[in-house]
Structure 1
Amino acid sequence: MAAERTARARGETPDEVLDRNVNEVLQEIRVTITAVQVLFAFLLTLPFQSRFGDLGTFGTTVYAVTMISTALSTVVLVAPVSFHRMLFRRRQKSAIVAFADRSLVGGLTLLLVGIGSAVLLVLDVVLGRGPAIAVCAVIGVLGL
């Protein structure tokens, strides 16, 4: 309903609305994927640092959660690009928009887990477990 009102107010046809929605969601993915790539690149280097072995079970578990959620976020955020390419010129823009929207929400959720657990990992070393968990909880609440 709101989309129809917006389209009427803008004087857009249904095809123009879909074109705009595709462009907007792909732009959102482009912006988000940069953050994911930076975090992922940083995480790839951590096990090769001399103090990585000092993390202990908690630290290595948090690292694994961070690494896995960031890798999954990358995959989920890139998926709409592949989906768009598969359906290119097949008049399936509404399916592309719906898939990209779900992927963006899923990718952002996984990114929130990745960022939160990365902060937990670092602050556990810097401030201790209690403050690290508190800050991570605040990030989680604000991220929702």
Structure 2
Amino acid sequence: MWGELIQEVRVAQTGVQILFGFLLTVVFTPRYADLQQIDKNIYIVTVVLGACATGALIGPVSLHRIVAGRRVKPQAVRWASRLTFIGLILLLATMTAALLLILRVATHDAYVPWLVAAVLMWYALCWFGIPLWTRRRHTSRSEPTR
């Protein structure tokens, strides 16, 4: 299970690191000073969420490095899995906040929260709904859960 988990983390790590890198540059653009205070607040929350997501998704690599050879692989996999799940939740929040900020700045329209909510529901369906439904539908009662 460790190999599969690390492969999953690599995909999420790349996405969150690219997003976080772009977020870090926004404050240095000339347009940042013109943002409304609410948009600056959304930006700050988004950057903090991105930093937390990055930490959680890099955590399993550090965990593996620190406990390697200590014969604690089952515990390491469990903790790495938890960190990955937390990282995905934080990535979901980061992407949602970033989308809110971008659409607010780009359009200033009243439909922005509704559009962001629809995208959030799509993420939740793709990332959690379908996987949980699949697990429930296709896991037999005799199979151990992970």
* Both proteins in one fold, TM over 0.5: yes
> Which string of whole-angstrom CA distances, capped at 9 and with x for unpartnered residues, describes residues 55-111 of structure 1?
111100110111000000000111111111111011111111111111111001101
Q: Distance in 1 between matches of 2:64 and 2:115?
A: 38
Q: What residue in structure 2 maps to residue 140 of structure 1?
A: 120
Q: Matched residues in 2 for 1:108 and 1:132: separation?
A: 23
Q: Which amino acid aligns with 2:120?
A: G
TM alignment of 1:3-82, pairs within 5 A: 21-82=1-62
Question: Which amino acid in the other structure matches residue 38 of structure 2?
Answer: F
Residue 139 of structure 1, CA deviation: 2.1
Unmatched segments (≥5 aa) in structure 2:
125-146
Bigger Rg over Cα = 1
Q: Which letter does structure 1 place at the counterpart of 2:36? A: G
Distance in 2 between the 1:81 and 1:71 partners? 16
- Letter matched to residue 142 of structure 1: W
Change (3 A) 1:125 1:78: same
TM-score by length of 2: 0.81
Output the CA distance in 2 between the equivalents of 1:47 and 1:101.
33
The equivalent position to 2:67 in structure 1, one of 78, 87, 98, is: 87
Q: Distance in 2 between matches of 1:132 and 1:34?
A: 27
* 1:130 Cα deviation after fit: 2.2
More helix by share: 1
User: How far 1:137 moved relative to its partner?
Assistant: 1.0
Q: 1:128 aligns to what?
A: 108
2:87 counterpart of 1:110: no
CA distance in 2, matches of 1:122, 1:129: 12
Question: Equivalent residue for 2:138?
Answer: none
Please give the root-mean-square deviation of Cα atoms over the aligned residues, in Å: 1.1
